Structure 1
Amino acid sequence: MQERSGTLVEWLVPLAFIFVAGWVVWHMPAFTLSFYPPTDPSEHDKLSALFGRVDVTPNLGGLFGGTADIADWAALIAIPILGYIGVRTVRRAGMEFESWRPADRLAVFIGRITMMLIVCLTTVMLYEVMLRYVFEAPTLWANEMSLWLAGFVFLCAGLYAMQQRSHIRIVLLYDAVPRWLQRVFDTISTILIVTFAFFLIYGGYGEAFDKFYRWETFGTAFDPPIPATLKPMVLLVVGLVAIQSVVNLISDWNAEEVHYGGEDLDEEEIKRIKAQVAGD
């Protein structure tokens, strides 16, 4: 089992991934205008005006006859590259669940991204507090940015919690039955999760695509594309959670004994956990 090596690359790669993904998200209207522009002239003009307002590099010309410039294309290409590097370099920490299939590596890497998002969220909040109460010059963007980042943290943390088997569960009956019946319970719960994910994605795809395609914004002074990004992200993460639940079922199938209750967490176990954390 691979343990966390503690190298700097394990934290720099998620941070770089957040930067390039954020760049692509912020400039997504450029790709929409380049690949699949709205046929309605009013919608096209609205999206073009929106991109003109948020474009970070307005002086760079578009490539391949489109609106996206070289910086946008570089960020888009960097996303799968950094994602691959991140999945390959991520290491399991001593306190994390001992399962290391490819899907587990992806979930743990997304967990690392979530950790860095929390750092970014805290930085934004501290920056706003300093400007508001020290310099008496509050920003117009910090509140919406905090809400935006918190939404991504909430969603990504759900996938990581599923991979770590740390989600809330009622185990009074589960811990009391033999292992073969626990497998039956696991199978039923996995089927329910996959069924829920299927119908949620099936029912929400149209609305999510519409919000994404129109690049619906929040309607504030900062006006971030929170509806356009979080609605599709909900469906994506729910799909990944369903896949992870299947992976968990396969990984845990041959486990001899499974108990999730808290009665086994005695003083010796707490000491062992503290020693493990100190050692990491």
Structure 2
Amino acid sequence: MTQSRAQANKRAMKSGSLWEWLIPFAFFFCISFIVWQLPAFFLDWIPPQNESLYGQIDALFALYDIVDAGSLFGGHIDIVDMTALILIPVFGVLGVMTVRRASIENETVRAIDKIAIFLGRVTMMMILTLTIVMLYEVFVRYVVERPTLWANETTLWIASFVFLLAGLYAMQQRSHIRIVLLYDAVPRNVQRVFDTISTILILVFAAATVFGSYKYVFFNKLYKWELYGSAFNPPIPATLQPMVLIVITLVAIQAVINLISDWNLDPEVLRTPEVDLDEIEAIKKSLGEK
């Protein structure tokens, strides 16, 4: 077991290549662009039957359109919008194929787990972007004395997505908060029963949440493109609430994947690791603490 774990860690040390930074960032950039331009796709592909709503969304899109490269199909979508849309699955597939488990990450990784790991890398790029936006705002506010209208809402927007996607990553890594006093004390067969019950509860909660609110969220929030109401006025309600349902669904799927992946593992592998005092002392020494 120790030798195989050492080999896994050695392979994991290859993680962190330049591609594992660029591809998640490119994926995040394309997703962000499409989210902002989403009304163009609504207006061209699934236009509202209500003329008042159509005119409202059309006016908003004319106000917030980032790039006007001319109409591609005689409507609102242009070549830049379509290129970004096509690149999303391209970068997504490349990211899932090239992502590597880091040495500190969970060793139980199936091919399908790489989706959650890649989204974890995308979340890291979100945090990096959020930090850059905050630093920029501090600079222009206190040095140039020309604060922006968009930085505060943008950081709030990105941080909300980080919070959601981090939950999916935590589920894949089995790093969510668990009370394991009873779990670690029972035999493996009983642990499997506990795992099955918890997974069923997650599935029931996810199904009830999605089924009970998807119509309201997707039709009243997303499709009507509800805005935040600030000076910058981003579509935070229109995008964040559907993302909640999407991530809840992904977390439920990941819970099933975890159940299957952990089914035949030894109890020692699943046992919650104890605090390594030697490692803590080594970290203190590296930081110059006594």
Contact 1:14 1:116 in 2 (8 A): yes
Match in the other structure for 1:21: 31
Residue pairs, 1:144-163, within 5 angstroms: 144-163=153-172
Q: Deviations over 1:216-274 (max 9, x none)?
A: 11011111110111111011111000000000001111111145445x32334657999
1: CA distance, partners of 2:86 / 2:228: 28
Contact 1:4 1:90 in 2 (8 A): no
Match in the other structure for 2:139: 130
**TM-score normalized by structure 2?**
0.90
Paired amino acid for 2:258: N
2: CA distance, partners of 1:219 / 1:158: 27
1: CA distance, partners of 2:99 / 2:282: 24
Q: Residue 63 of structure 1: CA displacement?
A: 1.4
SS at match of 2:239: helix
Match in the other structure for 1:142: 151
Q: Is 2:245 the partner of 1:235?
A: yes
2: CA distance, partners of 1:121 / 1:103: 28
Match in the other structure for 2:112: 103
Paired amino acid for 1:218: Y
Match in the other structure for 2:287: none
Paired amino acid for 2:254: Q
Q: CA RMSD in A?
A: 1.7
Paired amino acid for 2:238: A
Q: Is 2:231 the partner of 1:225?
A: no
Paired amino acid for 2:215: G
Q: Residue 56 of structure 1: CA displacement?
A: 1.2
SS at match of 2:134: helix
Paired amino acid for 1:171: V
1: CA distance, partners of 2:144 / 2:70: 38
Counterparts in 2 of 1:104 and 1:80: CA distance versus 1, 3 Å: same
Contact 1:87 1:109 in 2 (8 A): yes
Match in the other structure for 1:180: 189
Mean alpha-carbon deviation: is it higher for 64-73 or for 149-158?
64-73
2: CA distance, partners of 1:88 / 1:126: 33
Match in the other structure for 2:59: 49
Residue pairs, 1:63-82, within 5 angstroms: 63-82=72-91
Query: What residue ranges of structure 2 are gaps of 5+ in the alignment?
Result: 1-7, 285-290
SS at match of 2:112: helix
2: CA distance, partners of 1:35 / 1:93: 41
Aligned pair count? 272
Q: Is 2:198 the partner of 1:193?
A: no
Percent identity between the aligned chains? Answer: 58
Q: Is 2:125 the partner of 1:116?
A: yes
**TM-score normalized by structure 1?**
0.93
Contact 1:34 1:67 in 2 (8 A): yes
2: CA distance, partners of 1:90 / 1:123: 24
Q: Deviations over 1:196-232 (max 9, x none)?
A: 1111110110111121111111011111110111111
Q: Residue 111 of structure 1: CA displacement?
A: 0.2
Query: What residue ranges of structure 1 are gaps of 5+ in the alignment?
Result: 275-280
Counterparts in 2 of 1:197 and 1:272: CA distance versus 1, 3 Å: farther
Counterparts in 2 of 1:197 and 1:40: CA distance versus 1, 3 Å: same
Counterparts in 2 of 1:4 and 1:51: CA distance versus 1, 3 Å: farther
